[in-house]
């Protein structure tokens, strides 16, 4: 049995792959429309926030330190309006109910 190839076959070049990763988690921002307002959305690698944990408003679970995630805030909002979401929770935000059931002792954020 021959060993598995770890290199891609064909058209993909290493420089394109590195650029894709930088674009995915390099802090680029974009604008999305949700609930009738424009939101600024930024993908974050999570490595710069060592020791910090955030609570995802989509699932009410903690986002561990160093985990890639999404930061979103309303276009006309300030720094206090930023929320850190799991990427899957942000993508599924339209399929979730408006009220997340929390346990009695769970903090809001």
Q: What are the pLDDT digits (tens) for 21-43?
A: 444 445 567 888 887 888 899 98
**Higher-pLDDT residue of 78, 74:** 74
Could you count the other beta carbons within 10 Å of the beta carbon of residue 85?
A: 22
In this prediction, residue 101 has a pLDDT band, given cuts at 50, 70 and 90, of low
Tokens of 27: 């802090």
pLDDT above 70 covers what percent of the chain? Answer: 61
Contact 75, 38 (CB under 8 A): yes
Q: Taking every pair of C-alpha atoms in the chain, what is the biggest distance, in angstroms? A: 59
């Amino acid at each position: 049995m021959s060993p598995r190839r770890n290199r891609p076959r064909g058209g993909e070049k290493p420089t394109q792959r590195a650029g894709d990763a930088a674009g995915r988690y390099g802090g680029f921002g974009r604008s999305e429309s949700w609930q009738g307002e424009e939101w600024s959305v930024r993908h974050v690698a999570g490595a710069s926030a060592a020791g910090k944990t955030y609570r995802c408003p989509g699932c009410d679970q903690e986002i561990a330190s160093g985990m890639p995630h999404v930061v979103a805030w309303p276009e006309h909002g300030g720094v206090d309006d930023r929320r850190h979401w799991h990427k899957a929770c942000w993508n599924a935000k339209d399929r979730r109910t408006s009220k997340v059931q929390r346990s009695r002792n769970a903090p809001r954020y």
